[in-house]
Amino acid sequence: MSIEFFIARRMQLTTASGRSSSTGVVIAVAGIALALVVMLVSVSVVLGFKHQIREKVMGFDAQLTVVAQKAYGSDSIDGTVVKMTPHLRSLIQSVLPEGAKMSLVSRRPGILKTDSAFAGIVVKGLEPGNDSPFIRSNVVAGVMPDYAADSTLYHVVISSTVASRLGLESGDRVNAYFFSGAVPRARRLTVAGLYDTHFGEYDALYAFGSLEMLQRLNSEGADCGSAIEISGLPDDATIDRVGRELADALLQGLYSGCIDTLYAVENVHDTAALYFNWLALLDTNVVVILILMALVSGFTLVSSLFIIILERVGMIGTLKALGAGNRMIERTFIIVAERLVGRGLIIGNIVGLGIVLIQRAWHLLPLDPEAYYLDYVPVEINWWWVVGLNVAVVVIAALVLILPSRIIATLSPASSMRYE
């Protein structure tokens, strides 16, 4: 064991007056631990919010949506019909990366009516085998129908919000009116299930049913719908890249005669820009928090070392009188700081990750779903972020150690030994 390490260890255990723990030690460890806890929790909450909101948005709006256009600005809900021809399917599949999938969907606006109330909705028709995993995971009553069965042709899943407004429960039947041209078409639908995503605007709008039901309603063939949805892309950069490549491929296919319809590719970053802009603001907020906490941890460490130095001025003078050089004493205090930082990191990681894991398991901190689209504070652990924050604290500590260590060189043995 080196002499510097031995002295540093003794300095942490007792103060010059014999107390069991130095004030500077307690302040340094607590400050670093608290800063790390705040940073870990802040980053975890922001990552959790981004993941949950992205999942909700992309559960209703596909990552990419291919719609047919007859004219500039045509409405994809009222829909120019998309016909999934073998050429179109092959062209789209040639652009999609491995793991991505596409499905034909149909959207039709309508009205659900009971004896005492009515609600406007958009019914989204799903292909058999391509039902929405997101909606299925948020069904709170009843079931998500298997639309491969003939018996589920007129079964729909509506939100708890719409069901409450109409006084409906799972298993009830309701009259639905769809508008195609000037003549409304009525259907008697069975409410197979209720879903609740806490995503108010979407919950109040969307119901989910069979693609075949809407195809029959519109007198369309089995290969017709209002859009082709693409999902399963791993990240935002891939969504943007595939969207551009797909738009170029569809335009080339039109020029070459492989397809005879002009198609547009809608990107979820554009169709749901409001939510993604909100998530970008969260990124800005967490950057501000990280900077403030980094300054707090640096200031705390510097202040604590000053306290330790002031408590040990007499000892510094004695060491210099015995022949210890400034470099040796500087290394001693650097070892003290490193041990303080290490202790603070251990405590901060245990407390910070403990809070995150407890919240992830039991959702103890609630939220107002009307304001935040979630009924609890979401958290997500990204281990790269955890490692990065720990490394950042160590780097900041190394930088702020320069000033306190230089002060030691200015102390003379005589004046240090007379200091009280």
pTM: 0.86
Euclidean distance between CA atoms 30 and 23, whole angstroms: 11
Which of these ranges, 141-155, 201-215, 404-418, has the smallest mean pLDDT? 404-418
Residue 72 has pLDDT above 70, yes or no: no
Same domain, 26 and 52: yes
Domain C-terminal end among 213, 235, 270: 270
* One domain for residues 304 and 406: yes
* pLDDT on residue 324: 82
Residue 191 shares a structural domain with residue 113: yes
Spatial contact of 266 and 105, defined as CB atoms under 8 Å apart: no
Distance in angstroms (rounded) separating the CA atoms of residues 173 and 217: 18
Residues 243 and 329 in one domain: no
What pLDDT score does 171 carry?
96
As given in the structure block, the two tokens for residue 68 are 């047919």
State how far Cα 166 lies from the chain centre. 33
- Provide the number of structural domains found in the chain: 2
Residue 106 pairs in a beta bridge with 125
Residue type, 257: G
Domain's final residue, options 236, 270, 304: 270
Q: Are residues 395 and 251 in the same domain?
A: no
Quick check: 21 pLDDT over 60? no
Are residue 412 and residue 380 in the same domain, yes or no?
yes
pLDDT in tens, 24-53: 778 888 989 999 999 999 999 999 999 999
- Distance (Å, whole) CA 135 – CA 143: 10
Q: Which of 243, 270, 297 is the last residue of a domain?
A: 270
pLDDT of amino acid 77: 44
Token digits of residue 23: 């004030």
* Per-residue confidence (pLDDT) for residue 336, from 0 to 100: 81
Give 78's pLDDT tier (boundaries 50, 70, 90): very low
Which pLDDT score is estimated for 329?
Answer: 81
Say whether both 261 and 328 belong to one domain.
Answer: no
Long-range contacts of range 311-316, CB-CB < 8 Å, 24 or more positions apart?
Answer: 311/15, 311/16, 311/22, 311/23, 311/24, 312/11, 312/16, 313/411, 313/416, 313/419, 314/16, 314/416, 314/417, 314/419, 314/420, 315/11, 315/16, 316/408, 316/411, 316/416
Torsions phi, psi for 120 (to 5 deg): -80, 135
- At residue 14 the predicted structure's pLDDT band, cuts being 50, 70 and 90, is low
Radius of gyration of the chain (CA): 32
With b for 16 or more beta-carbon neighbours within 10 A and e for fewer, the 331-359 pattern comes to: bbbbbbbebbbebbbebbbebbbebbeeb
Q: How confident is the model at residue 181 (pLDDT cuts 50, 70, 90)?
A: low
First to last CA, the chain: 30
9: pLDDT confidence band, cut at 50, 70 and 90? confident
CB 290 within 8 A of CB 42: yes
Residues 265 and 283 in one domain: no
As a whole number, the mean pLDDT across the chain is 88
- Indicate the SS3 state at residue 260: coil
262 plus 280 within the same structural domain = no
Q: Cα(108)–Cα(244) distance, rounded to whole angstroms?
A: 28
Could you tell me if 176 and 67 lie in one domain?
A: yes
Q: Per the structure block, which two tokens stand in for 174? A: 């309701």
pLDDT at residue 93 greater than cutoff 90: yes
Q: How far apart are CA 243 and CA 271, in angstroms?
A: 13
Residue 206 is predicted with a pLDDT of 96
Dist CA 258 CA 91 (whole Å):
9
Residues in contact with 244: Cβ distance below 8 Å, sequence separation at least 6, in sequence order? none
Identify the domain containing residue 388 by its residue range. 3-57+275-418
Q: Please compute the mean of the pLDDT values over residues 350-360 and round it to a whole number.
A: 97
CA dihedral 47, 208, 130, 106 (to 10 degrees): -110
Both 209 and 357 in one domain: the answer is: no
Amino acid at 384: W
Judgement on whether residues 403 and 372 belong to the same structural domain of the protein: yes
For residue 282, the one-letter residue type is L
CA geometry: angle 231, 237, 243, nearest 5 deg:
55
Percent of the chain exceeding pLDDT 90 equals 61
Please state the length of the chain: 420
